[in-house]
Chain A
Amino acid sequence: AQRVTQPEKLLSVFKGAPVELKCNYSYSGSPELFWYVQYSRQRLQLLLRHISRESIKGFTADLNKGETSFHLKKPFAQEEDSAMYYCALLTGTASKLTFGTGTRLQVTL
């Protein structure tokens, strides 16, 4: 069965420090992975997906099939990056998403 693991519940970094939010997955098919973000008092929204290979708000994520990982990275954290981040795996029919348990990123001065 598919599974998404985010080992850290909370990640606290200083402003300007690098950020890496970890995500590992287990899936027998060809994985399609996403990062979703929920800022305070806002709706859950898509941040980026691995297929597009794009950088959004300075964040990037590379799919590593050998390590079954899709870690989210940003070289210099900003205060506005503080949010809850969820890694998600697209599975099966109807475009279902399997989410990890989420990591709260806290960026402090």
Chain B
Amino acid sequence: GENVEQHPSTLSVQEGDSAVIKCTYSDSASNYFPWYKQELGKRPQLIIDIRSNVGEKKDQRIAVTLNKTAKHFSLHITETQPEDSAVYFCAASGYSTLTFGKGTMLLVSP
């Protein structure tokens, strides 16, 4: 089955800095790669996703890049704000399931 590795497990940045979270996947058949943000005590919520026919996607301060050859994808957050503090999950979708990375706890200090 699919295996998704996510790094780093924790990331501390100062407000205004950029943050980058990286993921690799194992199944070359995976074709959908969403990113979820989970605030403390809440459900994971989709923040951005990318499909395998696209190399990059941007939504305001958030961007995702995908390298299918290398089987890795990354989340980039620019101009971080304290409210960006949360756990971020990458995921890869194969035939019928979404496999998640182990999460990155992002801490943005004012």
Do these two chains really belong together in a complex? no
